[in-house]
């Protein structure tokens, strides 16, 4: 049973950025309209849930709110090092490209965040440095080469498209007096540890060479605490901004993250002083990650009004400073905020129901209080165009949907060794008519035995026969966490257990989307027959729906997650395609060759060979003469053979 629905918009678009006319004309002025009239950028991140189809029923209101209120956008995590280069020299741009298409379609500009940071660095980077050092080589030279290659590829991929980059993020330690985040730090930077301060100079040099038109920033937190001697802010001005400028290394300015609490009432004046200090050096300052959280969940009307007053002070100083261009909030709805991980709450300008708070009203009031002719306008805003399309399709394949009345039970659940079988529940739970109560092992995911203690879902036969999971971008589970706080679940497939993604967050006491990347499946040569689920902190998980998202528009063509120069055709797999069968006898069979992701690589002309000879070493020798070592799929008609060229 195949269920397809066109649920994703095509990732292509181009729009013109103008500061005189908004794309979203409304009776009441939005933040975006007011900011554009004043020649400034007001923005917010797109939360990782947006990139991973994890917004559920909130998807429409989330996106509509974002694109109507903001004209500059940042990815929460999807342009960081671990997201863009998860393996050495293997780059992934699909989610960044999705952001670019969204921004272009909605007339926005983009901030790139972040090229060099001590956090969210993939483990292969420090492992490589340690290995080289142990073998007597230069870890410094090795990591300089790694960083150079990363910056050239990432910045080069978006050359002329991204307005500004956070080139280096948080290189200054939290010590007093401030110092670099070296190997002696409690939270060291792999770049500082093995390279030293030089990595900052190199990063800015390489980024400027990769895109001479992009604006380049150093970004950090705790800069809002003032310019006292020994402070992080003063260190950033002296040891980053002034030093790079004096050395002739291009830097546009400094970004102050400004993650604060409601009682940090002196921070606006400190940020204003920092802007003036940078203005004196001919440099720009941006507010890059603003949020103002509460340390308590029970917040009064007076508390929200005070929070709004603090937000307004930041907008006031932003509009009054001639050397500021962007005012960016780290989110906009309290429902999708990182603050809960810090035990802070209600820090954004819309509540969890996307209703504007006093903070929003205060920002509007500040913008209206500063007439357009009194605000220094950004003079060099260029329209963003983006014509690249997603390598994935636009369709959703519904594997099972228990949430509807009279839901059909497809596939088969088997419980883990500890808790027994999963159970279908038909009673309503938070708006869902039916769901599966799935028992989980509750074991440590790092333990050797954990992979064998999980709930197993045997996929419906049509999912297996169509090999649909090999063709789609991600799995989307509609889940309900049974604990009082966010839990983390590990997803795998088949026996022996193969990990898809560990530690996927599951929201507590509410239905939400949980996504699982299908990269492992796409890179493999077999069709999964089972999904496996376990958790170290959740004894049961409710699942109302399982979907494959980003699928081909029809169940006929696999998709590739990677960029390729071979774009003239892709391998079309049909349900009658046979893997491993003999090729049909023809006088001069023409064989089409594809890589393991279905990308066309070329042809082989097998002149005067009988069909019985087109296999084994004969076929391998023919392949070896034309193709590089690797695994390939060779097709003749509806028959496929896998060939390993060594």
Catalytic amino acids?
170, 289
Angle at 122 between CA 119 and CA 126, to 5 degrees: 85
Closest by CA to 338, choosing from 83, 96, 43, 45, is 45
* b/e map 435-467, b = 16+ CB within 10 Å: bbbbbbbbbebeeeebbebbbbbebbebbbebb
Alpha-helical runs (H) found in 240-339: 243-246, 267-280, 301-320
Expressed in angstroms, the distance from the first to the final Cα of the chain is 40
Cα–Cα distance, 118 to 190 (Å, whole number): 6
Tell me how many helices (H) and strands (E) the chain has.
Answer: 17, 28
- The neighbour count for residue 618, using CB atoms within 10 Å, is 14
Three-state secondary structure call for residue 456: strand
The pair of structure tokens assigned to 564 is 């390729």
Question: What is the DSSP-derived secondary structure letter of residue 150?
Answer: H
Answer whether the bond into residue 378 is a cis peptide, omega within 30°.
Answer: no
Query: What would you report as the CA-atom Rg of the chain, rounded to the nearest whole angstrom?
Result: 27
Three-state secondary structure call for residue 287: strand
Q: What are phi and psi of 270, to 5 degrees?
A: -70, -40
463-to-415, 501, 548, 618 alpha-carbon distances in Å: 21, 20, 10, 35
- Cβ 265 vs Cβ 231: under 8 Å: no
Cα–Cα distance, 91 to 80 (Å, whole number): 11
- The neighbour count for residue 228, using CB atoms within 10 Å, is 12
326: left (phi over 0), alpha (psi -120 to 50) or beta: beta
The pair of structure tokens assigned to 625 is 């003469």
Closest by CA to 70, choosing from 114, 118, 22, is 22
């Amino acid at each position: 049973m195949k269920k397809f629905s066109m649920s994703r918009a095509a990732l292509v678009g181009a729009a013109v950025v103008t500061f005189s006319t908004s794309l979203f004309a409304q009776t009441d002025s939005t933040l975006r309209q007011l900011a554009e009239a004043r020649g400034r950028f007001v923005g917010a991140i797109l939360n990782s849930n947006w990139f991973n189809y994890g917004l559920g029923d909130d998807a429409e209101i989330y996106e509509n709110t974002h694109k109507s209120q903001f004209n500059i956008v940042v990815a929460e995590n999807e342009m960081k090092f671990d997201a863009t280069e998860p393996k050495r020299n293997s780059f992934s741009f699909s989610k960044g490209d999705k952001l670019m298409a969204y921004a272009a379609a909605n007339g926005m500009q983009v901030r790139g965040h972040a090229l060099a940071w001590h956090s969210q660095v993939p483990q292969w980077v420090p492992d490589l440095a340690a290995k080289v050092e142990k073998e007597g080589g230069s870890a410094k030279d090795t990591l300089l080469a790694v960083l150079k290659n990363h910056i050239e590829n990432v910045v080069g991929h978006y050359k002329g498209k991204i307005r500004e980059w956070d080139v280096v993020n948080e290189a200054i330690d939290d010590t007093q007096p401030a110092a670099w985040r070296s190997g002696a730090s409690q939270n060291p930077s792999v770049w500082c540890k093995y390279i030293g301060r030089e990595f900052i100079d190199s990063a800015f040099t390489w980024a400027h060479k990769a895109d001479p038109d992009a604006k380049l920033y150093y970004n950090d937190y705790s800069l809002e605490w003032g310019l006292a001697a020994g402070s992080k802010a003063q260190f950033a001005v002296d040891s980053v901004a002034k030093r790079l400028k004096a050395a002739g290394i291009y830097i546009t300015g400094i970004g102050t993250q400004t993650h604060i609490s409601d009682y940090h009432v002196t921070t606006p004046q400190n940020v204003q002083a920092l802007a003036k200090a940078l203005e004196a050096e001919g440099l720009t300052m941006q507010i890059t990650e603003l949020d103002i959280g509460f340390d308590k969940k029970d917040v009064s009307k007076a508390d929200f009004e005070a929070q709004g007053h603090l937000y307004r002070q930041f907008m006031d100083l932003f509009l009054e400073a001639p050397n500021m261009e962007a005012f960016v909030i780290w989110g906009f709805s309290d429902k999708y905020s990182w603050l809960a991980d810090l035990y802070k709450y209600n820090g954004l300008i819309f509540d969890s129901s996307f209703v504007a708070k006093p903070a929003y009203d205060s920002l509007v009031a500040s913008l209206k209080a500063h007439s357009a002719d009194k605000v220094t306008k950004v003079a060099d805003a260029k329209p963003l165009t983006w014509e690249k399309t997603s390598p994935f399709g636009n369709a959703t394949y519904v594997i099972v949907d228990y949430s509807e009345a009279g839901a059909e039970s497809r596939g088969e659940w088997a419980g883990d060794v500890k808790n027994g079988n999963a159970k279908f529940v038909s009673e309503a739970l938070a708006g869902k008519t039916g769901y599966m109560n799935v028992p989980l092992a509750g074991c440590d995911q790092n333990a050797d035995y954990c992979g064998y203690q999980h709930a197993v879902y045997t996929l419906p036969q049509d999912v297996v026969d169509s090999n649909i999971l090999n063709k789609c971008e991600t799995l989307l589970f509609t889940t309900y966490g049974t604990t009082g706080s966010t839990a983390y679940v590990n997803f795998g497939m088949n026996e022996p257990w193969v990990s898809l993604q560990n530690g996927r967050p599951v929201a507590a006491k509410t239905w939400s989307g949980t996504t699982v990347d299908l990269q492992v499946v796409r890179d493999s040569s077999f069709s999964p027959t089972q999904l496996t689920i376990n958790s170290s902190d959740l004894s049961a998980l409710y699942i109302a729906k399982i979907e494959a998202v980003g699928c081909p528009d029809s169940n006929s063509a696999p998709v590739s997650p990677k960029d390729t120069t071979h774009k003239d055709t892709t391998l079309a797999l049909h349900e009658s395609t046979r893997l491993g069968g003999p090729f049909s006898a023809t006088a001069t069979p023409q064989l089409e060759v594809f890589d393991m992701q279905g990308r066309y690589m070329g042809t082989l002309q097998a002149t005067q060979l009988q069909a019985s000879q087109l296999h084994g070493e004969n076929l391998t020798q023919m392949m070896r003469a034309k193709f590089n070592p690797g695994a390939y799929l060779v097709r003749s008609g509806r028959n496929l053979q896998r060939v390993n060229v060594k």
